[in-house]
């Protein structure tokens, strides 16, 4: 048994680790899930400037992704609809209506120049074997901006989940520039569907936001929905409005959907109903307003970590500096290698060193002759000298190139290389300033590229209070109570007790002193001659003092209990008085006077006595009552007005 338990534990941990790291949670470094990374890698490999059929891209990607086209196609469509790293051609679905994309064989895509700028550098990318060992795929791309914030992502893994809202790409880059400059920055979500967002509880990606649709109420008899809240489609919005209308929450005449490349849902209002009176109801009872909880969970250094938006920006600002430093150093080394070879070629050709190999009969002799020919020019070759690899390179120069060698052109090229090396050295000395300049160049490219649809901010940031449904709905439902049968509800043939809303909860104090709080019932039994029935509003009840006058079960002595009903569990029964006690009166007035009449007995001269309820302290619900006298009570008579005398 122990072996089986250990086997299950190990397999579960391996599966959980795989789902967390290799499927559901994005990596902080490049902001991508594995399937997205493999799609971009496939597009980089296939890139020739032309569009490719999505079906072909999917087929190519299957070399790296073991889960097949069922997971690749939807991920590619979602990635393309971000309008950042993939150019689209054809029907990729409708972000507003929720319509699906056409079949992969009908639509085309290609990687954008922005994706190459942000991700592509094979010489700095760490590579690993694909799942079948036949190919090499990137472990992580060296991303230069916090893609995880730009894209937004949602994923559910074993024991954890992530929900990162998308942010405006220009604002993200500007925040990165501010971070590198040592300035303060603030970053809020921006949604492709527009609308409004309240970020007062955003807490840098680990709280919640309130999103709203954009409404046009210029016509008092109709409402136009022109922008959607994040996470909704025109179909889901219309369905929620239709459901609210059927439930009587809002009164409309009809709904028309004119959405094409822009959202336009027309809500025609019923006769006598006006737009300004309906706005709050739309926010309260439909998807026009929603609360979204967020959780910024990413894979950082191979482990899941919850981060703040500012932490992500700071991490990527440092990462950008490291990547650009490596790129500059790599370019510098390549230029130095190229300069060294051009110097050797110039000397080899100008000084006719190649003439010295004409009499040599062996390969070793040829190599020694070339090296010997360079001895007078060792100062020009620099500390690297002439290696065997350098000799092999020189011997491979074709005769045509030697005969057509242009000394001036060669020297111009070497001057350009030296100038570039000098420029790189200057950048390396001021790497932060160079990083800021690079980011500003990306901003210019994005603004000048009309194909990138995430330039200007689409969502308006503002503060607004969440519309509470029970505060909007009218109390126009009749609550009836039949005191003889003991039934209470909206579907009871009794006397109208009060008007309530469908969201109200009802407090009923039964004849025996037991009370219950329930959702608005159609028909519920609370017993005949109930003492008290009211709406269970916590704010009101917290200021309401219940006074219960009752007769003790064993002695018959009158007792009084004053308390406040502050909390409850729905449909649970609570007792205000001891079990078996006889309740004589229940009152909610703060001050009142009452008379207790005692049961006549021999030698009992005083048959009644007056009391004032407000002379007794308010106690807890579980506390016992206070005895009024040591005489057996018969009944209680309460005065009609407050009596403080």
All residues at 6 or more sequence positions from 483 whose CB lies less than 8 Å from its CB, including other chains: 494, 495, 528, 529, 530
Tokens at 569, concatenated: 């569990």
Can you list the positions of beta strands (E) in 313-451?
A: none
106 included as an active-site residue: yes
Give CA–CA dist 567/12, Å, rounded: 43
C-alpha triplet 509, 513, 517: angle, nearest 5°? 35
Dihedral through CA 376, CA 379, CA 384, CA 390, nearest 10? -40
Give CA–CA dist 568/602, Å, rounded: 46
Give CA–CA dist 541/522, Å, rounded: 23
CA torsion sign for 503, 509, 511, 514 is positive
Chain-centre distance for alpha carbon 141? 23
What angle separates helix 309-350 from helix 388-395, to the nearest 10 degrees? 60
Distances (CA, A) of 170 to 167, 294, 432, 444, 454: 9, 22, 19, 10, 8
Q: Which of 106, 487, 515, 574 is catalytic?
A: 106
DSSP collapsed to 3 states, 31-80: CCCHHHHHHHHHHHHHCCCCCEEHHHHHHHHCCCCCCCHHHHHHHHHHHH
Partners of 300 in the β-ladder: 303
Partners of 214 in the β-ladder: 227
Burial string for 122-131 (b: 16+ CB within 10 Å, else e) reads eeebeeeeee
Q: What is the DSSP letter of 27?
A: B
Partners of 140 in the β-ladder: 126
**Is 520 in contact with 479 (CB distance < 8 Å)?**
yes
Distances (CA, A) of 466 to 198, 200, 225, 249: 9, 12, 18, 17
Burial string for 250-288 (b: 16+ CB within 10 Å, else e) reads bebeebebebeeebbbebebeeebebeebbbbbbbbbbb
Give CA–CA dist 452/460, Å, rounded: 20
Radius of gyration of the chain (CA): 40
Instruction: Give the residue numbers marked as catalytic.
Output: 106
């Amino acid at each position: 048994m122990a072996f089986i338990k250990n086997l299950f534990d190990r397999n579960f941990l391996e599966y959980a680790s795989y789902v967390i790291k290799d499927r559901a949670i994005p990596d902080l470094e490049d902001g991508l899930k594995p399937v997205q990374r493999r799609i971009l890698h496939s597009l980089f490999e296939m890139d020739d400037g032309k569009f490719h059929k999505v079906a072909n891209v999917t087929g190519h990607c299957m070399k790296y992704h073991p889960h097949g086209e069922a997971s690749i196609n939807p991920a590619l469509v979602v990635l393309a609809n971000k309008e950042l790293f993939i150019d689209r051609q054809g029907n990729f679905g409708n972000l507003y209506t929720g319509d699906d994309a056409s079949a992969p064989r009908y639509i085309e895509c290609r990687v954008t120049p922005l994706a190459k700028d942000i991700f592509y550098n094979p010489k700095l990318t760490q590579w690993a074997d694909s799942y079948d060992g036949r190919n090499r795929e990137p472990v992580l791309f060296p991303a230069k901006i916090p893609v995880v914030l730009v894209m937004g992502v949602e994923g559910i893994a074993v024991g954890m989940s992530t929900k990162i809202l998308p942010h405006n790409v220009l604002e993200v880059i500007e925040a990165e520039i501010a971070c590198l400059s040592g300035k303060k920055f603030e970053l809020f979500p921006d949604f492709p569907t527009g609308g409004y967002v309240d970020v007062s509880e955003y807490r840098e990606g680990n709280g919640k936001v309130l999103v709203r649709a954009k409404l046009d109420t210029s016509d008092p008899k109709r409402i136009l929905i022109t922008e959607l809240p994040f996470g909704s489609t025109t179909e889901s919005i219309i369905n929620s409005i239709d459901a609210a209308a059927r439930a009587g929450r809002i009164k409309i005449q009809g709904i028309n959907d004119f959405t094409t490349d822009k959202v336009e849902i027309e809500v025609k209002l019923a006769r006598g109903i006006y737009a300004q009176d309906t706005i709050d109801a739309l926010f309260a009872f439909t998807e026009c307003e929603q609360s979204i909880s967020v959780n910024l969970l990413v894979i950082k250094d191979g482990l899941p970590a919850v981060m703040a938006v500012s932490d992500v920006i700071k991490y990527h600002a440092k990462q950008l500096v490291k990547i650009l430093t490596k790129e500059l150093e790599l370019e510098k080394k390549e230029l130095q290698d190229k300069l060294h070879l051009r110097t050797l070629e110039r000397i080899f050709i100008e000084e006719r060193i190649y003439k010295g190999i004409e009499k040599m009969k062996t390969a070793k002799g040829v190599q020694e002759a070339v090296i010997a020919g360079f001895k007078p020019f060792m100062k020009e070759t620099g500390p690297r000298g002439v290696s065997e690899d350098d000799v092999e390179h020189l011997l491979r120069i074709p005769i045509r190139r030697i005969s057509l060698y242009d000394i001036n052109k060669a020297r111009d090229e070497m001057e350009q290389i030296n100038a570039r090396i000098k420029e790189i050295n200057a950048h390396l000395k001021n790497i932060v300033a160079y990083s800021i300049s690079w980011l500003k160049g990306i901003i210019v490219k994005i603004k000048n590229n009309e194909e990138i649809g995430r330039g200007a901010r689409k969502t308006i940031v503002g503060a607004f209070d969440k519309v509470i449904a029970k505060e909007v709905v009218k109390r126009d439902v009749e609550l009836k109570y039949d005191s003889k049968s003991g039934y209470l509800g909206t579907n009871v043939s009794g006397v109208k007790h009060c008007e309530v809303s469908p969201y109200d909860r009802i407090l009923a104090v039964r004849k025996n002193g037991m009370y219950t709080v329930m959702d608005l019932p159609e028909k519920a039994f609370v017993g005949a001659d109930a003492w008290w029935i009211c709406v269970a509003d916590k704010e009101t009840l917290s200021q309401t003092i219940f006074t219960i006058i009752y007769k003790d079960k064993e002695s018959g002595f009158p007792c009084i209990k004053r308390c406040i009903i502050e909390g409850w569990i729905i449909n649970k029964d609570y007792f205000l008085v001891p079990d078996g006690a006889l309740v004589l009166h229940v009152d909610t007035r703060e001050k009142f006077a009452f008379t207790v009449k005692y049961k006549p007995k021999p030698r009992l001269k005083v048959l009644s006595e007056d009391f004032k309820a407000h002379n007794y302290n308010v106690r807890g619900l579980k506390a016992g009552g206070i005895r009024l006298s040591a005489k057996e009570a018969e009944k209680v008579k309460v005065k009609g007005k407050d009596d403080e005398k």
